[in-house]
A and B are shown apart, each in its own frame.
Chain A
Amino acid sequence: MKTRTFLTLAIAAIVLAAISWWIGQMSYSWMPPEASIEAKLVDDLFSLLVAVASFIFLGVTGTLLYSAVFSRAAKYDTSDGPPIEGNVAVEVVWTVIPFVIVMGIAFYSYQIYDQMDVHGPMEHRHAAVPTDAAAPQVPTERPAEVEEIEVLAWQWAWEFRYPNANVSSTELHVPSDRRIRLALKADSVIHGFYVPAFRLKQDIIPRTDAQLEFTPILEGTYRLRDSQYSGTYFAAMQADVVVQSPEDYDQWLTLAASQPPATAYNQAVYEYERAAKKPISAGWKSVPPAPAPMVNYAADPQPVSPQAAIPTPEDKQS
């Protein structure tokens, strides 16, 4: 009897583990494209998390379901179950195993974080902040060349500056397979720099410059979204990110530099002005948006990637 229970349990666990591993493999497809080295690292971690999660969730839910189906009391059965009050061995096991699992997850996450090293040489604003505990351990595949770009977050517009090329743009262009270092600045409120395809995010606090490093690897157009709620037009504070081959990128820089600065289209400014023209307001007073940025290169008001279109009511009417 004892061995049979044990065997059943072992088989159940193995089957469950197999299913969980499979779900973990599936999880790669739930994520956006892996457009950076960091994205690959994060997805590996996520896959592990999903596998562990599936095992625990299915295990607990399965057991409960089994009980709910097979341990029901008959209608007129008023008897009690066995008065089992506990079992020290079992309790120790289910204290120790979760501890081991989560510590494992934490150490693995630590290593992944270490490899991502997204903060580059952290700028030490305060003496009180010690160096990154994660000692920089540069992975071999990382390119040595670093491309520096400034990111300015207005309320509510993104502006990108390429100081070496004298270019400013409302679209972020980055060369693939090169290390990118962003210097992030915010004007009046906190914003968040977030590119899902890169799996990267960093809040930008006014007067506190932040840095972010990553290596894009997959050419294409992706979305950059504000991730830290910043007021009325927060949802519209998006931009396109174009990952290009280094040659295309250089070409783009030259092209952009040759163009005279012009006021770019800005969704927040557009909506704010339209609301001001309406005789009655459907909402409450909003902070006025910062003026639309003057840039050499403005993304098309009809953004490049189809998914990126933010339809305005005008579009719908026409």
Chain B
Amino acid sequence: MTTNAPTGAIAPNVEQPAPGAPNNWRRFFSFSTDHKVIGIQYIVTAFLFFLIGGLFAMIMRGELITPDADLVDRTVYNALFTMHGTVMLFMWTFPVLNGLANYLVPLMIGARDMAFPRLNAIAFWMVPVFGIILMSSFLVPGGPAQAGWWSYPPVSLQNPGGNLVNGQFLWLVAVALSGVSSIMGAVNIVTTIIKMRAPGMGFFRMPAFVWTVLSAQMIQLFGLPALTAGAVMLLFDLTTGTSFFDPIKGGSPVLYQHFFWFYSHPAVYVIILPVFGIFSEVFPVYARKPLFGYKVVAVSSLIITGLSAIVWVHHMFASGTPGWMRMLFMFSTMLISVPTGIKVFAWVATVWGGKLRLTTPMLFALGGLVMFVFSGITGIMLAAVPFDIHVNNTYFVVGHFHYVIYGATVMGVYAAIYHWFPKMTGRMYYEGLGKLHFALTFIGANLNFFPMHPLGLQGMPRRVASYDPEFAFWNVIASLGGFLLGMSTLPFILNMVSSWVQGKPAPDNPWRAIGLEWLVSSPPPTENFEELPNVIAEPYGYGKDEPLVSNASAMIGTELAPTPSP
């Protein structure tokens, strides 16, 4: 391993690549400690789970295209939406964003790897493990968990099959392991960002993406333990007969709800913050302008982290929450729009008057931003208690969060994958396929998720396998949009696979972007930097014509520079 690294960097096209070299595909199937390998491992694994979660959604939309519960049994439908939500959140969004953070953060801050490479690899390899545990619940008697991704007791404690190892049990084990993995990842990323920055890389020289990752991972650190506490207690209730959350035996189901949302609300910012970071990286590159108000945008991430901890009860407005608490959390929730607005307006100002190039990443970022603003505003509506009481647990909420979670998050992740694809693989993707992918995704997502809003306003509850015929019209449109959205993944997969195999070789910096990661080769050598960069400027110096580092040539290491052998 030791000597291979520089070899790979020096001669990328050697016939037989050594195991750790950037051009050996086998390393992706190994216990590699290279953050770039792990990053890609995360992204690809997560995407596979995205397809599985999406497949569940396709069956659900198939069921919902007619008012009756006719396609699948009610228990199957209930299991499907439970697994859909769980897979999408714990096995797609968190891992894929961790993958991007893993790949990009060390490169962006000028580090050779993460602070704890081995811990990093362990955290990753837990993902397939708990993924398989969760999927195996389809095989146990009684089937998978059917209590929704919240697993609210007492429903989650009912266990009709009476087996000790049931779907809910496996669900809890998988979620707990996912939590452990996320904590390990968070400790690693936070330490890396605080301790491993290159010379000159002060906090206010870090790219905005790094700021958002730091803010997001801090949420994992303070939030996940609360979920873990709740999950452990639920597990005891389920298996050993304790009565923490069983109201019949004197327990408090509402306490579980507090534990759950104390984490799961902030978790949505774990998801969206890195996407904000992606927007902040993508817009300047393709608008050829510096990120407007960089410092404020950076700090607003931390403000969001802080606020995210004090709004969770907005998910419980109808849960027997007393009036004073409803009002308190309405006000705190409203505040979130201020730091978020700062970011949105900053992006608009960045794009304004720029020299736009509507490449695939830019299109995804713009489309994602538009859908984010829509979802954010419906979020503010939901925060208004009297209105939320009407639409709580209806499709209006489902519409709100799919706009943000698909429209903003998945589209943002697509933007990131296209944008950094040349860097990660050393190949260019096909622009035409990319644009087709964007068009299908944008149209599909809006057709799929917009109709959910009128449905919710009219009073259609969520989590129903059957519904009154008056709701059929919008549901048919939503289902058709959903199927289109499912199809939209095909050009993406085609593009990624074929480009990686036979795409045009990518130059180091195909987008003329500013950032440490664009100064090294594509794909970067194992050790990232020959010599650690010495950063002398703020990021996003578009139009300013100033160097980012003082030692560019030493940093990338020319072929002539002899690599010392150990």
Contact = CB atoms under 8 A, between A and B. Distances in A.
Asked whether any CB of A lies within 8 Å of a CB of B in the complex, the reply is yes
Interface stretch (B174-182, B262-270, B347-355, B493-501): B347-355
Interface in B349-375: 349, 351-358, 366, 369-370, 373-374
B430 interface: no
B146 A98 contact: no
A67 B354 contact: yes
Interface in A18-68: 30-32, 41-42, 45-46, 49, 52-53, 56-57, 60-61, 63-64, 67-68
Given A189-B155, A196-B458, A223-B459, A102 B380 contact: yes
Nearest to B144: A284
Given A64-B370, A205-B253, A81 B542 contact: yes
A94 interface: yes
A68 B356 contact: yes
A225 interface: yes
A234 interface: yes
A95 B465 CA distance: 43
Contacts of A275: 73
Interface of B: 67-70, 72-76, 78-79, 141-143, 146-148, 152, 154-155, 158, 160-161, 247-248, 253-254, 287-296, 318-320, 322-324, 326-328, 330-331, 334-335, 337-338, 341-342, 344-346, 348-349, 351-358, 366, 369-370, 373-374, 377-378, 380-381, 383-387, 389-390, 392-394, 454, 457-459, 461-470, 512, 540-544
A71 interface: yes
A284 B390 contact: no
Given A67-B356, A205-B253, A285 B338 contact: no
A159 interface: no
B158 A109 contact: no
Interface string A158-171: 00000000000000
A195 B322 CA distance: 20
B484 to A, nearest CB: 22
A129 B322 CA distance: 8
Interface string A190-226: 1010101101111101111010000000000001011
Given A80-B542, A91-B342, A194-B461, A71 B247 contact: no
A90 B377 CA distance: 21
Given A82-B543, A282-B72, 12 more contacts: A57-B377, A81-B289, A81-B354, A190-B253, A227-B461, A235-B464, A235-B465, A271-B74, A281-B73, A283-B75, A285-B160, A310-B468
Contacts of B392: 201, 227
A137 interface: no
A309 B390 contact: no
A54 to B, nearest CB: 9
7 contacts: A45-B384, A53-B380, A60-B373, A72-B357, A110-B330, A200-B390, A223-B459
Contacts of B463: 229, 234-235
A225 B540 CA distance: 53
A276 interface: no
A53 B118 CA distance: 48
A134 interface: yes
A228 B468 CA distance: 17
A222 to B, nearest CB: 9
A46 B287 CA distance: 37
Interface residues on A, range: 35 or more
B28 to A, nearest CB: 35
Interface in A226-241: 226-236, 238
A127 interface: no
Given A85-B294, A201-B392, A64 B351 contact: yes
Given A94-B341, A203-B319, A283-B76, A72 B356 contact: yes
Given A60-B348, A72-B356, A203-B319, A188 B154 contact: yes
A141 B127 CA distance: 59
Interface in A298-318: 307-311, 313, 316
Contact of B146 (A53, A86, A231): A231
Given A45-B387, A208-B247, A235 B366 contact: no
A174 B136 CA distance: 49
Interface of A: 30-32, 41-42, 45-46, 49, 52-53, 56-57, 60-61, 63-64, 67-68, 71-73, 77-87, 90-91, 94-95, 98-99, 102-103, 105-106, 109-110, 112-113, 116, 118-119, 122, 129-134, 188-190, 192, 194, 196-197, 199-203, 205-208, 210, 223, 225-236, 238, 271, 275, 281-288, 307-311, 313, 316
A312 to B, nearest CB: 8
Nearest to B79: A284
B353 A49 contact: no
A56 B373 CA distance: 8
Nearest to B541: A83
Contacts of B544: 83
A95 B387 CA distance: 25
A227 B317 CA distance: 13
A229 B318 contact: no
A188 B248 contact: yes
A133 B457 contact: no
B439 to A, nearest CB: 14
Contact of A285 (B161, B335, B373): B161
Given A79-B355, A83-B544, A309-B469, A32 B378 contact: no
Contacts of A67: 287, 348, 351-354, 356
A228 to B, nearest CB: 6
A236 B462 CA distance: 12
A207 B248 contact: yes
Contacts of A118: 389
A300 B89 CA distance: 43
B380 A49 contact: yes
B35 to A, nearest CB: 31
A60 to B, nearest CB: 5
